[in-house]
Amino acid sequence: MQRFMITGGNRLSGTVKVSGSKNATLPIMAASLLLDGKCTIRGVPRLRDVAVMRELLIYLGASVVWEKDVMHIDTQGVGYQDVSEELMRRMRASNLVLGPLISRYKYARISYPGGCDIGSRPMNFHLKGLQTMGVSIKEKFGYITAEAKKLKGSEIYLDMPSVGATENLIMAAVLAKGTTVIRNAAREPEIVDLQNFLNCLGAQVKGAGTDTIKITGVNGLNGAEYTVIPDRIEAGTHMVAAAITRGDVLVTNVIPEHLEPVINKLREAGVYVEVKDDQVRVAMDKKPLAVDIKTMPYPGFPTDMQPQFMAFMTLAEGTSVISETIFENRYKHVMEFRRMGADIRLEGHTAVVRGVPGLSGACVEATDLRAGAALVLAAMAGENGTVLDQVEHIDRGYERLENKYNALGARIIRVHS
Ligand code: EPZ
């Protein structure tokens, strides 16, 4: 197990570059299974989750050469569709191989995926959409077996705009016979990136970024090179890091429109935010004002930024009401913040955060990826020292976070215990 020893009280200042998007890279890697050939992905972040997806592709027979931030994938060797439970349970996004495998092989068998401890995370919308396309689904002993003679283009309505279901169904429709329309689709930028990657391979996908996506099936795909978008959640995390430590940081390699909900909320809290091309400058020299947030599907305030913003609000002037509408159990970080002196009351899916004068160091643990990142922010803003356990969670979604923050003046030591 690895832990961070964090000394608080240092303002962050300087420049930090955002890596490629984890949540764009993972579906794009899965989509490479649709191709019987080679493709190259650039801007790939060095993350544990990306390493797990690479292991999954190799297990299925692909070759995946990953040097620095460039990944060469060759899926000519892919033939094996039963995915091991051990691999599936390591990451929720493993379920993204379902769409490509059923699309290319008309058969796939996966176990229910694992992932962060933030909710039950069922796959009913994924499976219902596949059944609409003519796929027979059998669920037994935690395994899903999907089979189809052929996939037919269909009209699919998602009961809620699920990111993963939208991505899986797009990938299932790429090689289907006819046209598929997905309504009430998720609109996240990572879905637009998946569409752009697929169209580079010769697919015909339109409408990603809106709630209606149209896929015209094609017979086959060709190899291509593609660069993934920057990670908007990493960028948002760094922006809050600058604000909570009352620092002054230039965050580079961003797409500002992807950050709009976070920029607006930071400004509402009194933070100076200046947007220029692919950079955002964030500066703060006083206590923030308490603001309310309600997590919503994109373009609303992202659930993946809820823990980080809560950290910020624990030190605000006044009381902030935070509503988590996406996941049913995404408040594990509240207990940890309380150990640092935060005043937070949970009422169902709502957290009432009353600002306190300061946070004090404590022994805390990362309960999931974003909670871990949020605790780093709280510890950097807190007084004296914090020990943060289970930082492996953080490595799932952030490239050596301690190096990025130490370069800005933080004092974080990684300890292998
Ligand atoms: C993606 O997860 C992201 N992961 C998550 O980021 C993100 O929090 C989430 O979208 C919401 O934005 C990746 O892209 C790899 P959903 P996903 O399907 O696709 C329920 C991070 O920190 N649901 O939009 O799993 C589900 O239980 C991670 O980077 C069903 O009920 O999210 C959840 O409550 C965490 N049935 C809600 O919908 C289904 O069939 C949203 O899930 C599918 C989902």
ω into 299 cis (within 30 of 0): yes
Q: Domain limits at 74?
A: 22-227
Last residue of a domain, which of 171, 205, 227? Answer: 227
120 and 91, same structural domain? yes
CATH number, position 299: 3.65.10.10
| Residue 104 φ then ψ, to 5° | -90, -35
Q: Rounded to the nearest 5°, which phi and psi values hold at 406?
A: -65, -35
Q: Whose CA is nearest to atom 17 of ligand 1?
A: 164
Closest-CA residue, ligand 1 atom 22, reads 304
Based on the structure, what is the number of domains in the chain?
A: 2
Annotated catalytic residue 116:
yes
For 127-135, which contacts have Cβ atoms below 8 Å and span 24 or more sequence positions?
A: 129/156, 129/158, 129/165, 129/168, 129/169, 129/172, 129/182, 130/98, 130/99, 130/102, 130/168, 130/169, 130/172, 132/156, 133/169, 133/172, 133/173, 133/176, 133/180, 135/102, 135/172
Q: 260 and 124: one domain?
A: no
pLDDT in tens, the chain (417 residues): 999 999 999 999 999 999 999 999 999 999 999 999 999 999 999 999 999 999 999 999 999 999 999 999 999 988 766 888 888 888 888 899 999 999 999 999 998 876 556 766 689 999 999 999 999 999 988 889 999 999 999 999 999 999 999 999 999 999 999 999 999 999 999 999 999 999 999 999 999 999 999 999 999 999 999 999 999 999 999 999 999 999 999 999 999 999 999 999 999 999 999 999 999 999 999 999 999 999 999 999 999 999 999 999 999 999 999 999 999 889 999 999 999 999 999 999 999 999 999 999 999 999 999 999 999 999 999 999 999 999 999 999 999 999 999 999 999 999 997
Q: Confirm whether residue 343 is marked as ligand binding.
A: no
Q: Which residue lies with its CA nearest to atom 5 of ligand 1?
A: 304
Cα 327 to ligand 1 centroid, rounded to whole Å: 8
* Cα 296–Cα 122–Cα 87 angle in degrees, nearest 5: 115
Residues 64 and 190 in one domain: yes
Question: Same domain for 27 and 6?
Answer: no
Q: Quickly list DSSP for 15-82.
A: EEE--B-HHHHHHHHHHGGG-SSEEEEES----HHHHHHHHHHHHTT-EEEEETTEEEEE-TT----B
Tell which of 197, 227, 257 closes a domain.
227
Same domain, 203 and 217: yes
Q: How far apart are CA 124 and CA 252, in angstroms?
A: 38
Confirm or reject: Cβ of 12 under 6 Å from ligand 1: no
Q: Are 13 and 28 found together in one domain?
A: no
Say whether both 149 and 276 belong to one domain. no
Are both 234 and 223 inside the same structural domain?
no
Q: Which domain-ending residue is among 227, 256, 291?
A: 227
Residues 65 and 101 placed together within one structural domain of the fold: yes
- 60 and 208 both lie in a single domain: yes
Q: Work out which ligand 1 atom sits closest to the CA atom of 115.
A: 35
Separation of 95 CA from ligand 1 center, angstroms?
A: 11
Atom nearest to 162 CA in ligand 1: 24
With residue 274 as reference, give the H or E element that holds it. Answer: strand 272-276
- Residues 213 and 243 both lie in one domain: no
Are 218 and 246 part of one and the same domain?
no
Place of tokens 């229910």: 112
